[in-house]
Amino acid sequence: MDYTSISVIDSSIGTLAIILIYIYFYLLHRERYMGIWAVSWLILLSRFFLFDTGFISWKHSFIGLTIYQSLIISSILIFVWGTYLFLNKPLNKRWIYTCIFLSFVSVAINLLPLPLSYKLILPLYLGCFVGIWIGLTFIRQFYLPFIGHLITGYAFILWSILNIIAPFSLSSSFFFPWGFILGGVLRMTIAFGTLIVYFEITSSKLATKEYQFRLLAENAVDVIYYYQILPNKKIDYITPSVLTLTGYTPEEYYNDNTLFFSLVHPDDIPLITNFVKELPNSIELPLTLRIISKNKTTLWLEHKCVPIYDKQGRLIALEGIVRDITTRQKLEQMASLFDRMNMVGNMAATVAHEIRNPLTTVRGYLQVMGTKEKYLTDKDKFLLMIEEIDRANSIIREYLSLSREKLADFKMCSLNGIIETLFPLIQANAISTKVYAKLKLCTIPELLLDENEIRQMLLNLTRNSIEAMPSGGILLIRTYLENNKVILSISDQGSGIPPNILDKLGTPFVTSKDTGTGLGLPICYRIAHRHNAKIKIDTGNTGTTFFICFN
C-alpha cells in the first residue's frame, strides 16, 4: 500500500470518526448542535471522496470548481451555526452575509485565468479563519477541570494552519501524502477532544444539578427521606431539617432504624402499625399522626411517600416527605371550635327565651304553692325544685352569652382597673374554699375593651381556677407586657387539666367537673375572639395557667 492510499484512508477515518461521534451523541441526547456538526463534517467528507481523491475531475472545470467551493463554504457556515448553538447564542447574521459574498466573489474569480491555488484561496482561508475562531472558542469559553477543551481547541488551530498552506501544496508530492495523513490525525484529535469536552460538560452539569438538588433538599423545611425496605430495612438518607423538627440528628436516625417509631405518640401507634402492615396500599392517602419530640413537645405530622419497586415488582424502598402541620392543626381546631360556638349561638338565640318563659312561670307557682299550709310538709321538695330551676336559668343565661348576635361595646379601658374593681368579689369566692388570691399587676397601656365581657371572662376563669383547688392553694392574677402584647395570666395550683379534656378545651358542654355546664370556657374563647385576643394554656401536675394575649 503506497503513501497516497494511506493518506486517503487516514484522512477518511479521521473525518468519519468525527461524524460517527456527533451522530451518536445526537441520537443519544437529541442535541441539535451535534446533528448540525455531523451534517457539516458529512459535507466535508463527501467533498473529500468526490473531489480530493480525484474521483471527479474538477480542477479545470468551472462547474466542478464552483461545486467544490460551495461545499467548503456551506460546511463552514453550518459548522459555525452548530457552534453558536453549542454556546447557547443566536447565529450572528454577518456570517451568512460573509459566506454569500464570498460565494459570489469565488464564482467571479473562477471565470478568470488564474492558478487553481488563487481560485481556492477565499473559501479555504475562510475555513482556516473559522477553524482558528472555533479553536480559540474551545480554549477560552470552557473553564473545565480537564484538558479536553485545550486538545480540541489546539487541534482546530493546527488543522486550520495546515489548510492555509494546502492551496499552494496540492501539486507537491511531499504534501499530498503527509499533509493528508497529518490532517487525518488532527481530525481524529478533534473527534477525541470533542468527546472529552462533551463528557466534561455533561459531568459538570450533573455535578451542578446534584449540588442544586442536594442544597434544595438540605435547606427544605420539610423532612425528605429515603427508606430502604429490601434487602435490609434502614434509612439511606434523611435531610438535616429532621433535627429542627424532632431534636435528633440524621446520624442518630442512621444508627437507630427504629428511632422515628419510638417517637410516635402512644395514641397513634395503631395508625403507624396499620400503615406499615398495609404497605403499599396504605400510601394512597397521607398519614397524619403525632410524635413527641426530644424536648417533649407534641407535634402533628403529615406524611406522604411514593413506592420504589425493583424489576421483579417487589417493594424495595419508600421516598417521602414529612411535614410539620402542628400550626395548621391548631388553626383547624380553632376554626372548628368557632363553628361549634356559632352553632350554639344560633341555637341560643332561637331557643333560650322560649325555655326561660315557662320556667319562670313554673318557679312562680312553686313559690306560691310552697307557702300553702297543706304543702308545708313538702317545703324541702319545693325548695329543691326551685333551686334546680334557678340552676337551669343560670345555664340558659350562659347559653345566651354564646349568641353571635351580641354586639360588643368597645371603649378604651384600663385592664388593671377592671381587675382591681372585681378583685374583692374574687377574694370572697376564694376565701370560702381556702384559696388565697393574689394580684401582681404591672404598668400596661389602656386597651380597646368591652368592660362587661372582660369582667365575665375574668369571673369564669377565676372560678375555674378556684374550683381546681378544692384543698386550697394560691390564685395568682398577673398583667404584664411581652413582645408588644398585653398579657393577662391566671394561675392556679391544681392538678392540671386531663389530656382528654385539654384537646377539646373550649368545646361547648365539655367539662371535667361533676356540676359544670361546659359553657364557661367557650364563652371566654368567644370573648377573646371578639377582642382579637388569643388564649394559651400551660398545664401540668403543679397547676394550670391561662394566658390571654391582647394585641
Question: What would the grid cell of residue 305 be?
Answer: 411517600
Residue 331 confidence (pLDDT): 74
Backbone angles phi, psi at 445, to 5 degrees: -75, 160
Nearest by Cα to 287 from 306, 307, 304: 304
Residue 337 confidence (pLDDT): 65
Q: Which fold has domain 223-324?
A: Beta-Lactamase (3.30.450)
Backbone angles phi, psi at 436, to 5 degrees: -100, 120
d(CA 99, CA 2): 38
Nearest by Cα to 95 from 76, 111, 114: 76
Q: List pLDDT tens digits, range 246-293.
A: 888 888 888 888 888 888 888 888 888 888 888 888 888 888 888 888
Backbone angles phi, psi at 195, to 5 degrees: -60, -45
Q: What is the amino acid identity at position 216?
A: L
Question: What would the grid cell of residue 324 be?
Answer: 410539620
Residue 476 confidence (pLDDT): 92
Is the C-alpha dihedral spanning 406, 409, 410, 416 positive or negative? negative
Is the C-alpha dihedral spanning 305, 309, 314, 317 positive or negative? negative
Buried b (16+ CB within 10 A) or exposed e, 227-239: bbbeeeeebeebb
d(CA 82, CA 40): 9
d(CA 528, CA 551): 11
d(CA 26, CA 37): 10
- Give how far Cα 488 sits from Cα of 135, 251, 416, 485, Å: 77, 43, 9, 10
DSSP labels for 325-338? -HHHHHHHHHHHHH
Position of cell 503513501? 3
Cβ contact 398:523 at 8 Å: yes
Q: What is the amino acid identity at position 120?
A: L
Between β-strands 315-324 and 223-228, what pairing exists: parallel, antiparallel or unpaired? antiparallel
DSSP labels for 480-504? EEETTEEEEEEE--S----HHHHTT
DSSP labels for 24-72? HHHHHH--HHHHHHHHHHHHHHHHIIIIITSSS--TT-HHHHHHHHHHH
* Coil, strand or helix at 435: strand
Looking at domain 411-550, what is its CATH homologous superfamily? Histidine kinase-like ATPase, C-terminal domain (3.30.565.10)
Per-residue confidence in pLDDT tens, the chain, 551 aa: 444 455 456 566 767 777 887 888 788 778 888 888 888 888 878 877 777 666 777 777 888 888 888 888 888 899 889 888 887 888 888 989 988 888 888 888 888 888 877 787 788 888 888 888 888 888 876 566 677 778 888 888 888 887 776 655 555 444 555 666 677 677 778 777 777 777 777 777 777 777 777 777 677 778 888 888 888 888 888 888 888 888 888 888 888 888 888 888 888 888 888 888 888 888 888 888 888 888 888 888 888 888 888 888 888 888 888 888 888 777 777 777 666 666 666 666 666 666 777 877 888 878 888 778 787 777 788 887 888 787 777 767 666 655 545 556 788 889 999 888 888 888 888 887 888 988 999 989 998 888 888 888 888 888 888 888 888 889 999 999 988 899 999 999 888 888 777 766 766 666 666 555 566 787 788 888 888 888 888 888 888 999 999 98
